Each structure stands twice: as C-alpha cells, then as structure tokens.
A and B are shown apart, each in its own frame.
Chain A
Amino acid sequence: MTDNRKTGKALRLLLVSLLCAIAAWLGYAVLGLSLSHVGLGQLVGANLEASGVSHPVTAVLLNFRGYDTLLEMGVLLVALLGVWSLGGMPDYDESSPGPVLDILSRLLIPMLMLVAGYLLWVGAHAPGGAFQAGSVLGAAGVLMMLAGWRLDSRFAGLLLRVVMVSGLGVFVMVSTAMLLIGNGFLEFSPPMAGELILLIEAVATMSIGATLAALFLGSRPAVGPDK
C-alpha cells in the first residue's frame, strides 16, 4: 500500500517535471517568434472592399475563409446528432420555476432577442456576427427552458429538424448556387456579397441559437404521434 503510494508520488513528480520541460520549451519557442512582418492582416485589409462587409473578422469568417465556417456548422450539427442519438439525459426533476425566474425570464427574453438581432446586424462593420448572436439566442432558449417552457410537440418533427439543419443547409445551398451561376464555389460576386453574407448569417444565427439550446436540453424534444 505505501509502496503503491510511493511509486504514485514518484510518477507524479516525473510527470510534473516532464510537463515543466515541455512548458519551458514551448515558452522558449513562442518567445523566439518575430511577429512584426508576418500575418495576413494587410492582405485582408487590401481585399476588404471586395468582401461585402467592412469588419475584417467577419470578412474572414464568412468570405475569405468561409469554408471553415461552413464545415464548423457541420460540426455543430454532428454534435447535435450525437446528443440526440444518445437518447437524451437521464431524467432530472422538473420543478416548476419560482416567481422570480418566471418574471425575470419574461423580461429578459425579449431583450436577449433584441440583442441577438443587433449583434447580427452590427457584425458587418463592428465586432459581432452570427455566432455571437446565435449564442445570445441560445442563452435565451436555455432561460426559457429553465423557466419550464417546452417546445410544442407539433413543431418537434420536420420543422425542428429544418431549423437545426438550416445553418449548414443555407450555407451549402448559397455556395453551390454561386457555382451554378458561373462563379466559383463560395465565390460571392461583390454587388451581392453583403446581402448573401447577411442571409447566411441570419439563418445561421437562428440555427446556432436553436442548436445550442437543444444541446443544453440534451435530448430530442418528444415527438407527438407519428403523422
């Protein structure tokens, strides 16, 4: 028993020293970087005009490296599919919310929706955008669920799935449509670029918000009798 503990301690000491060595080496490597001349900041700045938005991060996320964002919507969908396929959370007590939570959520949820809309709109030229707006919307959804609200089973079938899929779906459809009208895949032509990005972002915001709330709930909302 004490031998076990001793070897355990020795192993832990070994681990700590190994990790310290790794940390020191990584720190040394980071300090050796010369940062003044690298980076794509200038290139992004030079092409910002053609991207359809004026905020560089949004331009990178939705246009220059929009393909990453498209796949990222896929990651979100896969996580949801995984959670739903696991069949949901073990039962937890559904206590009715107290009056404070009830009233607070009634006050907060419209506000959160407003904030989400603002973040979505402002993303074109200032910090903000679809994911930020979507997370606020997701928070609103979580609050609603904490306050005891559940999705009406009439909407828990195809309609819900359409909402969940729409973020990825619209992105893929718009990108492919560009290919079909003679541009490249995900190549937004400048006069329409701003509008297309706003469309993708608006749908993505809803979809992200709904997905995040669903991930919080942890299980697929009960589907009513099969139609």
Chain B
Amino acid sequence: MTGDIVGIPWIVVLIVLPLTGGMACFLFPTISKSLGLIFALAIFTAVVGLGWQLVEQGAQRYAIGGWGASLGIDLYADGLSLLMLVTAALVGLGVSVYSGAYFSREKAKHFWPLWLLLWAALNALFLSADIFNLYVTLELLGLAAVALIALADGADALNSAMRYLLVSLLGSLFYLLGVALLYHSFGSLDIAILAQRMEPTPAVWSAVGLMSAGLLLKTALFPMHFWLPAAHACAPAPVSALLSALVVKASFYILLRLWLEVFALTDTSLGQLLGLLGATAVLWGGIQALRQTRLKLLIAYSTVAQLGYLFLAFPLGTNIAWKGACYMLLSHAIAKAAMFMAAGNILRFCGHDRIADLDRIAQRLPLTLTAFALAGVSIMGLPPSGGFIGKWLLLEASMSAGQWWWAVILILGGLLAAAYFFRVIGYAFTRAGLTHEVGVVPARMEWAALVLALAAILLGFISPAALELMGIGTPFGGERAG
C-alpha cells in the first residue's frame, strides 16, 4: 500500500459518510431532517465520485489499515458493486426527500439515525471483499431494518418486525457457520483468496448449503418468502420502499458474489434448482398479488414475484443473463420504491389502502397515480422502461442457451403483473361506494414518488451506458457464448 492514491479514496468516504451522518442525526435530533438530507446528497455525490474513479482506473481494491488480505480486510469495488451503490443512492435520495415530509417530529428523531446507519450497512456490504466482514454488515443491516419496521405503530407492525428479526438472525447464523467452515478449510476470509484455494470438500459443500440457505431466507426466495409480505406491508411507507428496493437485494448481492466468484457454481444442477424456485416465485407472487385486497400487501407480493426474476439468471449463467438480472434488480428497486411511496401517499390521503375503495384517486391525486402507473410500466416490463430491458436481456439469454421455458415464465410473469396493476388502476378511476375523509399529502411526497418512477422509465433509454458501467472489472466473468 503506497501513499500515491490518485484522488480521494471514495470507497472509504462511502462508508464514513453515512456512519457520520447517522451519528450526527442521533446527536442533534432537532435538526436531523436537514442533516439527513445534506448527508444523503453528500453520499450521492460520493457514489458519482466512485463511479468516475472506476471509469478512469478500473476496479478498485483498498486495503483497510494497510495490511491487505488475508491478514486485514479489503474493500473492493467493480461494476457490480457500483450498480448496487447507485441503486442505493438513487433510492436513498428519493426516500430521504420523501421522509422529510412523511414522519412526525417524534418519529423523525428515530428514523434519520437508523436510516443513515442502514445506508452505511448497505454501502459497507456492497464494498466488502471479506466474508466475515459481510456477516457484520448483514447484522447491522438486519437490526436497523427491524428497528425501522417497528417505527410503524400497531400490533401488526410489531408482530412482523419480530418475525423479521428472528428470520434475519436465523439467516445470519446459517451464513456465519458457513464462514466458519470456509475459514477453517482455507485459512482466509477474503473472497479472492478463497476463490483461488477453492476445492470441493464436504466442508465446502456444507458451506455452500448453509450460506445459500441463510441468504435465500433473507432474500425471501419462494418458499422462504413467508415473512416478507407482512413486514413490507406493515412498515411505514418510506421504510417499505427501502426494504423492498434495497434490503432484500443486499443478501442477493452476497449470494451472487459467492456463487460467481467463490464457489463458481452457476450453470450446475443447483443453479437449475434456484431457477426453478425463482420461476415458482414469479408465478406464486403474481397470483397472490392478484388476490390481495390491500394495496400495500399487493405491492409486497409483487416484490416476491420480482425477486424470482433475479434467480432466472442462475441456470443460464451467461454474461448477458447476469446483466439482465442486475438490470431487473436496479429497475425493480427504483420502480418499487416509487410504488411504495405512491401507496404511502394514497394511504395518507384516504386513511386506508383497501383497493376496492380507492375513490377516484386518479382525479384527486393525479401526480401520485401517474407515479404509480409509470412504476407499474417498469414492473410489468413494458417498453421503454428499465424493467423491459432487464426482461429482454433475460429473454435473449434463455433463448440463446436453448432453455426456452424461462422465456415462458418471463411472459407469464409480465401478464400477471399487468393483471394486478390494471385492477388497481381500474379502482382508482371509479367512484367507490364510501367517501372518505381526505388527508393532506405534502407536495414533496408526490414529487419524490413521481421522479423515482420517471427514473425507472428513463433507465430504458440509458441502458447501453449503464450496462457498460456494470461490466467494469468483469464481475460476471468473460463473455461466454450462450
């Protein structure tokens, strides 16, 4: 480690900033709203800085404390990390703007420090190259998420927060036992070094099983999604947005890294199993979403379905399939955040979120309904949205791999999504039997949702550049023929 790093080590800044922000908001609760927004902007800028650095210099490795792996902990940033950081920054900024108006004074005091520490956990997780360090970030993330869910009052929220905490801890412990087995097999915790030393022993297979099971539980892949709908539906709207957009993706990211780099397991029969579970999730989540009577639960089940798409890349294992799945991840995150915010606005406006009683929302909350509809376009995968690009890439990958049945799932999933969204839109235009007391929705809450939804559409237009950024440092291996 020489001292001649050109420019600022953004990779460290991205971790220090949200940690400092969280502490500052905790120390000075009266100005936490302004502090939170300032730090959100600063973090966003730092992500741009890191992106610029990656474009100029390629993938970055940073040895914390100057020791270097295996003795120390390394941070590592490539195109995949950048994608996750950008997702977090976009959603994070949107949520920060939205939350500035959403929470009461008393709740805001708790929300801001927890949210910024959650952001710190996300950034640290996306940048870590060390499997034990990843465990610590997972726990930081999980506890912050639980505390944020519990900010919503009421028995349902507490109940789902409790279940989420137990599930989250269980998943982490499975992961940690896997870490123990890997460390005692190879004497290192660094992902790159483990990848070099990897050999298929019983201990390694156990680690594969334990770590995958733990992470899949946290990612809520069918049939381990049972905790997700209640938790995501009961949380306060901006927290729902964070959970669906970012928190479940964090454990997916670790799983992806492990399978791609450490275990090199894709396009095996285990990969087929994940693909199968993913396909079932797409259909099951879609059907359950259709059956829901409450808007937030519908959106939560839609998340179950959308998470399924991410796993369709595992049986394919080609560069283009990974890029498709990652594009789905990015566009789902942004669209789903927008959608939960829109649902939060509707809930604030009507005082309920029963789909059948959405009394002429279209006329009375036009901005919010536009946001909801635009986000729906991306979730359904219609052109020109980001969701369309992701599905298109996955479709291309499955056809060129000769595994056409995944394409059928993609199309069926899209049809189901269309069915449940048009149902909501339909009720939003019609007069309901009951009229309701109207709450006031602050303008910034409507605009935050709309801008994010527009961003999800915009992703369809900037896909060549985005896909190129994603490929920095070749996180998905070289170009392989399908």
Contacts and interface: CB of A to CB of B under 8 A. Distances in A.
Tell me, yes or no, whether A and B come into direct contact in the complex with CB atoms closer than 8 A: yes
A75 B147 CA distance: 12
Contacts of B150: 82, 85-86
Contact of B64 (A32, A162, A186): A186
Contacts of B71: 40, 43-44, 47, 64
Contacts of A161: 26-27
Contact of B65 (A29, A40, A64, A169): A64
Nearest to A186: B65
Residue among B140, B186, B205 with max Cβ neighbours from chain A (10 Å): B140
A72 B136 contact: yes
A84 interface: yes
Interface string B197-214: 000011101100000000
Given A40-B70, A63-B65, A74-B19, A82 B136 contact: no
B289 to A, nearest CB: 29
A92 interface: no
Contacts of A43: 70-71
B155 interface: no
Contact of B19 (A47, A68, A172, A183): A172
A74 B1 contact: no
B137 interface: yes
B124 A71 contact: yes
Interface in B163-214: 177, 181, 184-188, 201-203, 205-206
A182 B3 CA distance: 7
B136 A40 contact: no
B305 interface: no
Interface in A144-166: 158, 161-162, 164-165
A39 interface: yes
Is chain B's interface secondary structure helix, strand, loop, or mixed overall?
Answer: helix
A65 B69 CA distance: 10
B418 interface: no
B141 to A, nearest CB: 9
B202 A184 contact: no
Nearest to A169: B23
A81 B117 contact: yes
B16 interface: yes
Interface in A180-204: 182-188
Contact of B23 (A25, A28, A165, A188): A165
Contacts of B110: 81, 84-85
B52 to A, nearest CB: 19
Given A40-B187, A78-B143, A85-B150, A184 B20 contact: no
A164 B26 CA distance: 10
A40 B72 CA distance: 10
B3 to A, nearest CB: 6
B120 interface: yes
A85 B371 CA distance: 31
Contacts of A182: 3
A140 interface: no
Given A82-B114, A165-B27, A68 B73 contact: yes
B113 interface: yes
Contacts of B181: 29-30, 33
A168 to B, nearest CB: 6
Interface in B100-134: 110, 113-114, 117, 120-121, 124, 132-133
Given A32-B201, A183-B66, A65 B19 contact: no
Nearest to A175: B16
Contacts of B67: 47, 63-64
Interface string B9-38: 100100010011011001100000000000
Contact of B132 (A68, A78, A162): A68
A82 B65 contact: no
A169 B71 CA distance: 25
A111 interface: no
Interface centre among A26, A39, A81, A186 (most CB of B within 10 A): A81
Nearest to B72: A64
B63 interface: yes
Q: Which of B27, B67, B73, B121 has the largest number of chain A CB atoms within 10 A?
A: B67
Contacts of B132: 65, 68
Contacts of A221: none
A77 interface: yes
Interface in A41-89: 43-44, 47, 63-68, 71-72, 74-75, 77-79, 81-82, 84-86
A132 interface: no
Nearest to B125: A71
Nearest to A46: B71
Contacts of B397: none
B229 to A, nearest CB: 22
Interface in A82-115: 82, 84-86
Nearest to B177: A26
A87 to B, nearest CB: 9
B26 A81 contact: yes
Contacts of B9: 179, 185
23 contacts: A29-B201, A29-B205, A32-B202, A38-B184, A47-B71, A64-B65, A65-B73, A65-B133, A67-B64, A67-B65, A68-B133, A72-B136, A78-B147, A81-B26, A81-B114, A82-B150, A84-B110, A85-B110, A165-B23, A168-B23, A184-B63, A184-B66, A185-B62
Q: Which 5 A-B residue pairs are closest in the complex by CB-CB distance?
A: A82-B147, A38-B187, A85-B110, A29-B206, A29-B202
Interface of A: 25-26, 28-30, 32-33, 35, 37-40, 43-44, 47, 63-68, 71-72, 74-75, 77-79, 81-82, 84-86, 158, 161-162, 164-165, 168-169, 172, 175-176, 179, 182-188
Interface of B: 1, 3, 9, 12, 16, 19-20, 22-23, 26-27, 62-67, 70-73, 110, 113-114, 117, 120-121, 124, 132-133, 136-137, 139-140, 143-144, 146-147, 150-151, 177, 181, 184-188, 201-203, 205-206
Given A67-B64, A74-B140, 12 more contacts: A29-B203, A37-B187, A64-B65, A68-B73, A71-B124, A71-B140, A81-B110, A85-B110, A85-B147, A168-B19, A187-B64, A188-B65
